Structure 1
Amino acid sequence: MGGYLSAGRWFVGLGESSQKRKKKRGRDDSDDDSEEDEIMRTPQRKKLKSTSKYIYDTLFVNGENSDITIYALGKEWYLHKIYLCQSSYFASMFSGSWKESNLKEIIMDIPDNNIDIAALEVALGSLYRDDVMLEPAKVVPILAAASLLQLDGLICQCADIMTETISTKTVCCYHTAASAYGLELVTRNCVNWLEQNLMDMQRASLLQELSLELFEKVIRSPNLFVLQVEMDVYSMVKKFVFLKLMPSWNGNFKNLSKDADAFFRAYKPGLFLQTERGKKYVSLFRGVRLQHIINDLAASKHVEKDHIIPKEWLLPVYQQQWQCMLGLEQGLNQGPTEEAISPEVFDQQSLRCGRVIARETDYCWRWTGYNYGMDVLFTFANRLLIFRRNTATHPVVASVNLQNSRNIMFRVRVISYDSQGHVLYQKKGDLKVLSLSKDEEAVVLTNDKHVQFPLRISVNMLCTTPLGMEEPAEEPARPPSQPIMREEDL
């Protein structure tokens, strides 16, 4: 009788007498025989205890045959130099003329408060196993321990986990840890997450946890996904500062704007940014693009009532916008051109606005405010985003410039993400200049068929050339003594 060994089990083969008995069986037994033969031919697999687990349990957990004892944070580990030398920290300690190279006991100094016993246990244990399961809630202490022990593989695994689990609850602590331990990619991912999600996922807890430096960086970013207009950026900055000044506030988030308004409007020492408490926030409010707030009457009055921003800031902005309006009125400004506006200037000066497209259907809208005679209609239909220079086709409540051609400089982004703010779909258009005749329209972005809703649309645009950047006029300017004349006067 023959047999074979498979997966640790012995299987007995069929002998000659058994084969003769099979031939005598009737036809009805054939199906059962085939199934039985199939079972006999298929080796039964039994999962063996892996070498990695055996090493981890026997050597790390039980400490068998240990040749070095590590003391740290009030705990001792019975370990093995040959495994510890996978860590650059221990490899350098045990080599050369260091006194620790011949010691049997090592007392580790742990200067990093982020490292706890559980994190150090995971870091040391990773030297005895092939893989490590990391929980997002514990990844920062483990990253700290891995950085101390210079465990590059574990550091990379921590970075991957952090990138995959950025959320309103983790983005601040992840950014702090990534900055401290040199994970530049994770740091950038945290900033990118905030740029894309901050305005849409505002929480009092998130605003309270954000540092002033990080918040200012995001507010000043040209990639900030603004919903709806620049006035909403100003309102968020105001809420952020209010929460920093009143850290004990724990009211309903729906009332946060109202409470912030009441606080600043009743601020007794005077205009907030001119007081001692307000000086540290001057640079933050400088990041708000006031030129795109004062183009709306209600918004400009709201800012003045808040008693935050000094008039010395506002008056030059009003003057600049008034002169820009005069240039358009007199035909000296037809809108931005690539020669006059660099990408860097566009990023600093452009209007930032956005909208949420809830489902796949047709939308048409405009962002309100004084747009210097450029009534731009935005249409989303059949996954296309379309710009239209409106002069007569649709009702217009504001003044419309009737120049034959007007320029608009813009960049468009669309994005959809899950409940944690992780990108499901995104598309970004290039920086472009369109020259539009009256009532002309143009497709500015085409979205793929697999786009997921709700979809966020972000638009950065300039409808005018900022003051002082206009191209030289073709005709000399009129002497000051020459009277202004219009066609109706002739």
Structure 2
Amino acid sequence: MALGSGKRKRGPGGPLTKKPRRKRAQDRSGSVEALFLRGEQSDVRIRALGEEWNVHRVYLCQSRYFASMFRGAWRETNMDTIELQMPDENIDREALHEAFGALYRGSIFIPPGRVVAILATASMLQLDEVIRQCGEVMKVTVRAQTVCSYDYSAESYRLQTVRTMCLRWLLDNMMTQCSDKLLRELSLDLMKEVIASSELLVMGVEMDVYTMLKKWMFLQLQPTWRGPRRALLPDTDSWFARSRRDSEGTPFVETEQGRAFVPVFQQLRFAYIICDPTSARIIHQDALIPAAWLCPGKSMRCGVQLHKQKQCSWPWEGFNFSWDLVVCYANQHIIFWYSAPNKSFSLGSKRHSTQQHSGLSSCPEQRRLEGKLVHCTTEL
């Protein structure tokens, strides 16, 4: 006898042994769906956010939140109608409806645009599987439009792997995909974390980071600003110029409005900004930060004593990766010269003298510092 002979019923489509089981599963799924959608044989009513759901304790108890409520000593344990208070503003009626439905269906569809609301609801109801699914959706949909909301939600609902991915995205992309919308959404704490990281990818120079922070601070203070992207920096400079006039030249971060931004701007690497005369001039004109910030603790030292008021000069060899400078003193001015083929420029620096005074000469290739030189410290 052949194997299986006489054991299976056959029809026009071949073996039919599993079709009745699938039909029963579909019938069961349909009946469970009806229990939820129509509230048939409901034994408890949930009221929240202006809506009512006629549901069943046996399904609700899949949630650790409701399991504790019905099996514990809560006031609602034996009540037929339960009023739920929403402690989280991210929870809405649609997300609550989807969460209740997941208890009946055993599955849930989570579009990226709804993931934060569903995650908030699942966290309140302690639906571990839904929380896990939300995390998976977030991991594969991190982008400029979602990174900030995902990061804040991941921190609130303790999804550390999602938060790590958001931070990595910002470190890799912020300097190249920095829209005004993204700048508005970046909090002070998150921006500080990004700027402080040695892994921030800067496709340019440190001055670009300063410029980005300037625009970010403006948008934090003026979140209603709207305009073309090319107008953001000019409008930023104009706004801070007015503020500088109103505060009579006080560095902005030392004003009442600006103090909150101090921890972020302190993460800038000023040593790589002030060595460029153009960047140093912009920093001076903006007056966003105190001049003392431009003098880091690490320095190169080179000094000479001047015993008489007479013109003299001396070489400073091997300065900053073997550049050779000539330092000239005449008429209470100190001039630093560096020469290269078809090019000459000067360096910004701090000087300790008996009469400290500094200023730019009319020639952009020279920086002069008035006063007798006692000891010279150059910050780079």
TM over 0.5, shorter chain:
yes
Corresponding position: 1:11 with 2:11:
yes
Corresponding position: 1:180 with 2:160:
no
Partner of 1:372: 321
1:84-123 mapped onto 2 (5 Å cutoff): 84-123=60-99
1:55-70 mapped onto 2 (5 Å cutoff): 55-70=31-46
How far has the Cα of 1:190 moved from its partner? 1.6
Partner of 1:245: 221
Q: Do the aligned residues in 1 keep the contact of 2:33 with 2:105 (CA within 8 Å)?
A: no
CA distance in 2, matches of 1:151, 1:324: 66
Q: 1:155-211: CA deviations, max 9, x gaps? A: 111111112112211111222222222222222222221111111101011101211
SS at 2:91 equivalent: coil
Q: 1:430-471: CA deviations, max 9, x gaps? A: xxxxxxxxxxxxxxxxxxxxxxxxxxxxxxxxxxxxxxxxxx
Partner of 1:275: 255
CA distance in 2, matches of 1:106, 1:325: 80
Partner of 1:338: none
Match of 1:129 among 105, 113, 130: 105
SS at 2:260 equivalent: helix
Corresponding position: 1:222 with 2:198:
yes
Gaps of 5+ in 2: 305-315, 324-340, 346-380
CA distance in 2, matches of 1:247, 1:96: 47
Q: Could you say if the C-alpha distance between residues 52 and 191 of structure 1 is closer, same or farther in structure 2, counting changes exceeding 3 Å? A: farther
CA distance in 1, matches of 2:133, 2:342: 56
Q: Do the aligned residues in 1 keep the contact of 2:8 with 2:15 (CA within 8 Å)?
A: no
How far has the Cα of 1:126 moved from its partner? 0.8
Q: 1:252-274: CA deviations, max 9, x gaps? A: 11222232233334421112223
Supply the AA of the counterpart residue of 1:77.
W
TM-score by length of 1: 0.57
How far has the Cα of 1:276 moved from its partner? 2.1
SS at 1:100 equivalent: coil
Q: 1:100-155: CA deviations, max 9, x gaps? A: 33333222222222211110011111111132111111111111111111000001
Higher relative contact order (CA 8 A, sep 6+): 1
Corresponding position: 1:310 with 2:290:
yes
Gaps of 5+ in 1: 13-39, 332-369, 375-394, 400-490
CA distance in 1, matches of 2:175, 2:83: 48
CA distance in 1, matches of 2:40, 2:34: 6
SS at 1:193 equivalent: helix
Corresponding position: 1:211 with 2:187:
yes
Q: Do the aligned residues in 2 keep the contact of 1:273 with 1:309 (CA within 8 Å)?
A: yes
CA distance in 2, matches of 1:205, 1:69: 42
CA distance in 1, matches of 2:302, 2:153: 46
TM-score by length of 2: 0.72
How far has the Cα of 1:92 moved from its partner? 0.9
SS at 2:321 equivalent: coil
SS at 2:301 equivalent: helix
Corresponding position: 1:147 with 2:123:
yes
Q: Could you say if the C-alpha distance between residues 371 and 126 of structure 1 is closer, same or farther in structure 2, counting changes exceeding 3 Å? A: farther
Partner of 2:301: 323
Q: Which moved more, 1:292-301 or 1:82-91?
A: 292-301
CA distance in 1, matches of 2:91, 2:134: 14
Q: Could you say if the C-alpha distance between residues 55 and 291 of structure 1 is closer, same or farther in structure 2, counting changes exceeding 3 Å? A: farther
Partner of 2:333: none
CA distance in 1, matches of 2:68, 2:227: 54
Q: Do the aligned residues in 2 keep the contact of 1:140 with 1:174 (CA within 8 Å)?
A: yes
CA distance in 2, matches of 1:396, 1:371: 20
1:71-470 mapped onto 2 (5 Å cutoff): 71-266=47-242, 267-268=244-245, 269=247, 270=249, 271-314=251-294, 316-317=295-296, 320-323=298-301, 372-373=321-322
CA distance in 1, matches of 2:302, 2:44: 76
Q: 1:401-424: CA deviations, max 9, x gaps? A: xxxxxxxxxxxxxxxxxxxxxxxx
SS at 1:78 equivalent: strand
How far has the Cα of 1:290 moved from its partner? 0.1
> Alignment RMSD, CA only?
3.1
CA distance in 1, matches of 2:239, 2:224: 14
How far has the Cα of 1:278 moved from its partner? 1.9
SS at 2:77 equivalent: helix
Q: Could you say if the C-alpha distance between residues 307 and 61 of structure 1 is closer, same or farther in structure 2, counting changes exceeding 3 Å? A: same
CA distance in 2, matches of 1:232, 1:44: 69
CA distance in 2, matches of 1:106, 1:55: 24
How far has the Cα of 1:86 moved from its partner? 0.8
* Number of aligned residues: 306
CA distance in 2, matches of 1:247, 1:200: 21
Q: Could you say if the C-alpha distance between residues 109 and 249 of structure 1 is closer, same or farther in structure 2, counting changes exceeding 3 Å? A: closer
Partner of 1:468: none
CA distance in 1, matches of 2:135, 2:221: 34
SS at 1:101 equivalent: coil
Q: Do the aligned residues in 1 keep the contact of 2:171 with 2:200 (CA within 8 Å)?
A: yes
Supply the AA of the counterpart residue of 2:266.
R
Q: Could you say if the C-alpha distance between residues 265 and 373 of structure 1 is closer, same or farther in structure 2, counting changes exceeding 3 Å? A: farther
Q: Do the aligned residues in 1 keep the contact of 2:39 with 2:55 (CA within 8 Å)?
A: yes
Q: Do the aligned residues in 2 keep the contact of 1:272 with 1:309 (CA within 8 Å)?
A: yes
